[in-house]
């Protein structure tokens, strides 16, 4: 089966016609959340991946409509249902001048598959990578896979010799607070080179003049500045210190729309904001000898204690669309039935459920949240904390920057937590396997972000079947069943699908992405 762009009918949230390049320009981006590492297999974190993809490339990539098109591979063929052969692009060079070959692909795919890599979700269909010749690679799959090409859009290719020379053969163990040379340095094949990165201060990339492809815009330098303060971030855009802000403060968006020097592009992001619960430990901190969160009635009580309508109106101001499931509407597997909330907001019902579960006086609970990652993340958690406390669960809020929060939840050091999950493959398997499969004790992809350690053998079996089921109707039915079980058991508390407006200077022309990744190669500044 020769390459053909997969057509899922996915349409980018907003696509603008790009102007012809009109001279080189610097794109200055501001955002609340910094990247976490430059190791391409170190951390599955959206902001991190957004800037890594400017430097590193993949065998296949998405176009503006999220169709799979050639990248570092020019074509691909299924030799058998479990043997996928890639023909590699010739003449490609890494930023240090080294030629791109099959050795780099085999090394990178294997590195992504091997713990402590945090990017196993992007190679979960792959059993082994084999070199055929210098420009041909075979991927041996664990079984037939309907989504392997979409998974590979997130599997970045490193230079093997560079990694070996710089003692970075193994992926960074981020949750153990380890660093390697690749954490702060990079050598990709992409359209931009890493010049410097000062965490929490500034990231600078410069155009790769030797890039094999041609940009559609005129950007020759990208400067990203993390600006945690909402007021400062807005001021930086309004004053012209930055050209683009991906996360304009909710309270300032109307003002920005009225500013004749600015424009705002709206789009539903491929991301669901949710709360997770520790369903593994026998004793919850603050609750002697018990873990109330193991009881479905308690989880349902916490669900019904949340007034999602009030959060949408007063906190999100329209930038969150309430949901009852763990995937956004543009993801394969989403249905209107799953989208409906599992139960209605009802404080009295929540109190009764707690009493029935043996907690008539509630219990103590800590909610861990990021304060620099999602739209109004801290404010959402403040509201939830108050709602849970009103229902009888005395909740303490703990907030941290994403760099600390992410490592903490991955070490299973939280009782309840907030996270947002985007679906890079636009297929529900990505969420099911990462969030709802029992954690793989060997550190593999399954359950790698199941930070509450839920475990359901029936869900596991469905997920494992979904990975190889090629009958679309049957597979979609299995996806629905798995998501319905998780919904009915209240294993997670989905809040809303995030709407992500981008605010920018009037002279910026770009493409709004549902995956929230700015694309300098598709951007023009007049």
Query: Residues 335-381: pLDDT tens digits?
Result: 999 999 999 999 999 999 999 999 999 999 999 999 999 999 999 99
Contact yes or no for 122/112 (Cβ under 8 A): yes
Assign 308 a pLDDT band (cuts: 50, 70, 90).
very high
pLDDT(113) > 50: yes
Convert the pLDDT of each residue in 43-61 to its tens digit. 999 999 999 999 999 999 9
Average pLDDT, the chain: 94
Interatomic CA distance for residues 160 and 162, integer angstroms:
5
What 8-state DSSP symbol labels residue 282? S
pLDDT(5) > 80: no
Task: Determine the 3-state secondary structure of 29 from DSSP.
Answer: strand
Task: Please tell me the predicted confidence (pLDDT) of residue 267.
Answer: 87
pLDDT(196) > 70: yes
The residue among 205, 204, 117, 184 whose CA lies nearest residue 156 is 117
Task: Please tell me the predicted confidence (pLDDT) of residue 249.
Answer: 93
pLDDT(330) > 80: yes
Task: Determine the 3-state secondary structure of 475 from DSSP.
Answer: helix
271-499 is classed CATH 3.10.105.10: yes
Interatomic CA distance for residues 141 and 125, integer angstroms:
6
**What share of the chain has pLDDT > 90, as a percent?**
94
Q: Where are the domains of the chain?
A: 25-229+501-525, 271-499
Beta sheet of 202-207, edge-to-edge order? 192-198, 202-207, 219-226, 25-31, 244-245, 502-505, 262-265
Assign 110 a pLDDT band (cuts: 50, 70, 90).
very high
Assign 23 a pLDDT band (cuts: 50, 70, 90).
confident
Global pTM? 0.88
The residue among 439, 454, 444, 451 whose CA lies nearest residue 412 is 451
pLDDT(172) > 60: yes
Q: Which CATH superfamily is 25-229+501-525 part of?
A: Periplasmic binding protein-like II (3.40.190.10)
pLDDT(11) > 50: no
Task: Please tell me the predicted confidence (pLDDT) of residue 20.
Answer: 39
pLDDT(280) > 50: yes
pLDDT(9) > 90: no
**Would you give the end-to-end CA distance of the chain in angstroms?**
43
Six-digit token string for 474 = 């049957």
What 8-state DSSP symbol labels residue 294? G
Contact yes or no for 240/28 (Cβ under 8 A): no
Convert the pLDDT of each residue in 400-436 to its tens digit. 999 999 999 999 999 999 999 999 999 999 999 999 9
Average pLDDT (176-184) is 96
pLDDT(179) > 90: yes
Task: Please tell me the predicted confidence (pLDDT) of residue 22.
Answer: 53
Assign 18 a pLDDT band (cuts: 50, 70, 90).
very low
Task: Please tell me the predicted confidence (pLDDT) of residue 444.
Answer: 87
Contacts of 114 (CB under 8 A, 6+ apart): 170, 171
Return the minimum-mean-pLDDT range out of 4-13, 80-89, 269-278, 449-458.
4-13
**What share of the chain has pLDDT > 70, as a percent?**
96
Six-digit token string for 439 = 């954690």
Return the minimum-mean-pLDDT range out of 13-27, 97-111, 467-481.
13-27
Six-digit token string for 234 = 């807005």
Interatomic CA distance for residues 500 and 505, integer angstroms:
17
Interatomic CA distance for residues 426 and 327, integer angstroms:
9
Interatomic CA distance for residues 329 and 494, integer angstroms:
13
């Amino acid at each position: 089966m020769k390459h053909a762009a997969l057509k899922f009918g996915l349409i980018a949230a907003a696509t603008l016609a790009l102007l012809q390049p009109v001279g080189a320009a610097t794109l200055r981006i501001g955002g609340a959340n910094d990247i976490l590492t430059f190791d391409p297999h170190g951390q599955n974190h959206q902001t991190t991946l957004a800037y890594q993809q400017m430097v590193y490339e993949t065998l296949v990539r998405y176009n503006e409509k999220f169709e799979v098109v050639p990248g570092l591979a020019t074509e691909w063929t299924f030799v058998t249902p479990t043997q996928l052969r890639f023909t590699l692009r010739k003449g490609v060079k890494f930023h240090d001048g080294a030629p791109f070959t099959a050795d780099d692909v085999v090394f990178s795919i294997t590195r992504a598959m091997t713990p402590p890599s945090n990017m196993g979700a992007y190679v979960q269909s792959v059993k082994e990578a084999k070199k055929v010749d210098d420009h041909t690679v075979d991927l041996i799959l664990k079984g037939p896979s309907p989504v392997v090409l979409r998974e590979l859009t997130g599997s970045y290719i490193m230079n093997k010799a560079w990694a070996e020379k710089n003692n970075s053969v193994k992926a960074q163990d981020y949750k153990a607070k380890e660093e390697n040379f690749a954490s702060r340095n990079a050598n990709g094949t992409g359209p931009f080179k890493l010049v410097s990165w000062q965490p929490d201060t500034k990231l600078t990339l410069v155009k790769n003049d030797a890039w094999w492809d041609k940009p559609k815009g005129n950007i020759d330098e990208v400067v990203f500045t993390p600006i945690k303060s909402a007021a400062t971030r807005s001021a930086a855009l309004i004053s012209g210190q930055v050209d683009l802000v991906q996360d304009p403060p909710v309270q300032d968006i109307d003002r920005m729309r009225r500013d004749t020097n600015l424009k705002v592009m709206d789009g539903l992001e491929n991301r669901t904001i949710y709360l997770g619960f520790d369903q593994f430990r026998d004793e919850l901190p603050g609750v002697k000898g018990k873990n109330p969160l193991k009881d479905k009635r308690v989880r349902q009580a916490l669900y019904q204690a949340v007034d999602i309508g009030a959060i949408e109106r007063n906190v999100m101001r329209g930038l969150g669309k309430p949901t009852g499931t763990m995937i956004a509407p543009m993801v394969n597997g989403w249905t209107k039935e799953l989208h409906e909330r599992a139960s209605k907001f009802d404080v009295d019902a929540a109190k009764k459920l707690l009493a029935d579960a043996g907690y008539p006086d509630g219990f103590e609970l800590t909610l861990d949240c990021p304060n620099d990652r999602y739209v109004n993340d801290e404010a959402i958690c403040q509201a939830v904390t108050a709602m849970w406390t009103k229902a009888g669960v005395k909740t303490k809020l703990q907030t941290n920057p994403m760099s600390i929060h992410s490592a903490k939840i991955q070490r299973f050091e939280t009782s309840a937590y907030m996270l947002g999950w985007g679906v890079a493959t636009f297929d529900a398997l990505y969420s099911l396997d990462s969030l709802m499969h029992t954690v793989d004790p060997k550190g593999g992809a399954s359950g790698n972000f199941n930070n509450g350690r839920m475990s359901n053998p029936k869900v596991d079996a469905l997920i494992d079947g979904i990975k190889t089921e090629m009958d679309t109707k049957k597979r979609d039915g299995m996806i629905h069943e798995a998501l319905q079980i998780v919904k009915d058991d209240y294993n997670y508390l989905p809040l809303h699908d995030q709407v992500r407006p981008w605010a920018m200077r009037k002279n910026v022309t770009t493409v709004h992405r549902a995956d929230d990744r700015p694309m300098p190669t598709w951007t023009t500044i007049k």
